[in-house]
Amino acid sequence: MIRKATLQDARQIHQLLLVYVEDGLVLPRSLMDIFEAIRDFYVFVEGDQVVGAAALNIYWEDLAEVRSLVVHEGYGGRGIGSYLVEACISEARQLGIGRVFALTYQQVFFEKLGFGVIEKSELPQKIWGACIKCAKFPECDEIALILSL
């Protein structure tokens, strides 16, 4: 089941993210950051366990990012990641946002959802807002993809 995250989900979201942070696949987010951004998150829940999470971060009136997309290793291949991204896209549409992007190593996954590769330089709000603070800047090896709604 997919639903908006609650404060009670924050610690489980944080634990899911830590696994992928250690592998270098997602950027770290502190527990405090997750609490502050909890309204951005969707979770996929089985029973009382959060097995997937993704956040929709709004950058501008026509631009948002799908970020912190993670699925518990034991639940891969079931479409949970796609469902979470689709929930984020649906919210972006409801808000009237025209474009949704992702910075990722999972290019094929996002292309299957209709995203297309772009240059990171086409996302100045992201680069000068968040990327400039990242340890990978300016040598970021993530791929930028965008979906026009």
State the CATH number of the domain containing residue 53: 3.40.630.30
Total domains present in the chain:
1
What are the pLDDT digits (tens) for 10-45?
Answer: 999 999 999 988 887 887 889 999 999 999 999 999
Rounded to an integer, what is the distance from CA 99 to the centroid of its chain?
14
d(CA 108, CA 112): 6
Q: What pLDDT digit, counting tens, does each position of 95-106 carry? A: 999 999 998 989
Determine contact, residues 1/44, Cβ cutoff 8 Å: yes
Strand 63-71 versus strand 99-104 pairing type: parallel
User: In the block, which residue shows the tokens 């190593």?
Assistant: 105
**Parent domain of 41:** 2-148
* pTM for this entry: 0.90
